Structure 1
Amino acid sequence: MHLELDLDPVHGERLRALQSQLQKPLEDVLCVAIDAAFHDLEKGSNQGQRPSALFEALDAIGFVGCIDDDEHLATDYKSRLDFSSKTGSFRK
């Protein structure tokens, strides 16, 4: 397939940066980008919808999750646990 296109400055620079990082010809860089986009679309369609950009960013850094609770929970969580039976049950 023959392509001829004009990219805006931002995407043109991104394409040049990809080519520089991958150290591959432009045709190979475009193939990598197309494959990555295709993979993302397939991944999103398997889940019914594509994950949000925020979710993807948090997932990329290894974020596990969070709960809405006392802001001091990280420092005083041991005072909330009942260690008498060593089961870790929550003491109210």
Structure 2
Amino acid sequence: MNPASEKLFAEQKESGKVTLQAAADFLEQAGEGEYCFVENTGLQAVEAKIEKIIVFWWNRHYPSDRKFDLDLSKWNKVSEGEFAGYSHEKITKEVYEK
């Protein structure tokens, strides 16, 4: 993950149950089968490496200076589900594969 995102996972990291790696070039470092948490980084440059995309949407629109830069219509949606979150009453999870 990007170093700026690492603080979001402080509790999980302290628990010792997960291994986190933060680096400016985390997408380039990621190996086959590894997960990357992406919130402020473009993906077009590494799209060929991506095996699966998990996207979370919520029921509000927020202003942003960055947009998701992949065309998901070129991917196969393999699952979709909804659940309630802590700060949003409805969160939609979509999973895409090549």
Normalized against structure 2, the TM-score is what? 0.22
Q: Which has the larger radius of gyration?
A: 1
- Per residue, is there more strand in 1 or in 2? 2
Higher share in helix? 1
